[in-house]
Structure 1
Amino acid sequence: MRVDPCFFCGRPSWPSKGITFMRNDGKSFRFCRSKCHKNFKMKRNPRKLKWTKAYRKNAGKEMVVDSTLQFAARRNVPVRYNRELVAKTLKAMERIGEIRSRRERVFYKKRIAGKRAREIIAARKLVADNEHLLPRLRGSEKRRLAELAAEEGLDAEELERQSLDAVRAAKQKTKAFGGEQRRLRVRVDGGVEEITESTGGGVHNEDDDNDDDGMDTD
């Protein structure tokens, strides 16, 4: 069974699948799917599309130079059938596949080495450039945390970070819309309802919008 690679993206194009385009000069182009066929007719360059093998090879994301890749090259040399030769070839194909997969894992591991460190550096740079957007603690709160850390032998920076996280969580819980806050109010019958109170002193009951008679039972 002959499996040809897609002319555009490089994926395997299995027999009876995909599309074959015959040009007027007799050259045939094999495509694995209609997506590749349409991009080919639109005269797009596969080296500029990130989902193709050509782009990945040019960008250094694929293993290009390796001795195991030479076995996959097409050789149009007729060979007389030999049962022993076929058995040796199949056995060699399995061994070559194992070697190639192991080398590809090593190649990918080396390629992504240091990615975590680069992400941390980029995140720190982003925080340093937009430090004015982060919530800050008051001077008295910082002094209190520093004294507490000195007494208990803790890390002052870690305490400040925990305090900032608590402040952010409190703001997310209490803030509803603009200058409004959500609070819980106990009704006469013992139930609990959630109300939204604006900073101007007005109280908006969410249950009032759902009442048909528009009367407050408190």
Structure 2
Amino acid sequence: MRVEKCYFCSKPCYPGHGIAFVRNDAKMFRFCSSKCHKNFKMKRNPRKVKWTKAFRKAAGKEMNIDATYEFEKRRNVPVRYDRELMQTTVKAMQRVAEIRKRREHAFWKNR
């Protein structure tokens, strides 16, 4: 099970929630709510709708270029379970979240 991102607003879309829209060319769009789905069908640009993540990044209200975002890569090949690897991964995730929080706080203070 994978937590997908909403195509319109970039919020997390959990399994069993939201709407999946498949275009004729087999491109799949996932939406977290009917609000996002309706805005997509009305051909609204997410960068011009003020409550989306795309708007916040385009307007300079959120960080958009940072090394901590590189850790959020989507991996299609599952990794074989290793207890030590999982423990170090969880510790690293907490550390990265802490670093990202500090950087975002500094970014918000300086803007």
- Give the CA deviation at 1:78: 3.9
What's the Cα RMSD here?
1.4
- Give the drift of 1:24: 2.0
Moved more, 26-35 or 81-90: 81-90
* Structure 2 unaligned residues grouped into runs of 5+: none
1:81 is displaced (CA, Å) by: 2.4
Superimposed CA distance per residue, residues 109-134 of structure 1 (whole angstroms, 9 cap, x where no aligned partner): 111xxxxxxxxxxxxxxxxxxxxxxx
Q: How does 1:31-110 map to 2 (within 5 A)?
A: 31-110=31-110
Aligned partners of 2:87, 2:27: CA distance in 1, in Å? Answer: 34
Deviation at 1:16, TM superposition (A): 1.3
Amino acid at match of 1:35: K
Q: Are residues 1:27 and 2:11 paired?
A: no
Give the Cα separation in 1 of the matches to 2:59 and 2:41. 24
Query: TM-score, with normalisation over the residues of structure 2?
Result: 0.91
Q: Runs of at least 4 residues of structure 1 off by over 6 A?
A: none
CA distance in structure 2 between the aligned counterparts of 1:8 and 1:32, rounded to whole angstroms: 9
How far apart are residue 53 of structure 1 and its match?
A: 0.9
Percentage of pairs with the same residue: 67
Stretches of structure 1 that go unaligned for 5 or more consecutive residues are: 112-218
Secondary structure at 1:47's aligned position in 2? coil
TM-score (norm 1): 0.48
Cα deviations by residue, 1:87-128 (Å, 9 ceiling, x for unpaired)? 2111111111111111111111111xxxxxxxxxxxxxxxxx
Q: How far 1:64 sits from its partner (Å)?
A: 0.9
1:174-185 matches, within 5 Å, as: none
Q: Offset of 1:79 from its aligned partner?
A: 2.6
Q: Whole-Å Cα distance in 2 between the matches of residues 89 and 72 of structure 1?
A: 12
Q: CA deviation at 1:6?
A: 0.6
Between stretches 65-74 and 36-45, larger displacement belongs to 65-74
| Counterpart residue identity of residue 44, structure 1 | R
Judging by fraction of residues, say which structure has more helix: 1
Quote the Cα distance in structure 1 between the aligned partners of 2:77 and 2:66: 22
CA distance in 1 between counterparts of 2:87 and 2:2 reads 18
Higher relative CO (Cα under 8 Å, sequence separation at least 6) belongs to 2
Kindly provide the amino acid, as one letter, of the partner of residue 81 in structure 2.
Answer: Y
Matches of residues 189-204 of structure 1 in structure 2 within 5 Å? Answer: none
The number of aligned residues is 111
Deviation, 1:82, is: 1.9
Q: Secondary structure at the match of 2:47?
A: helix
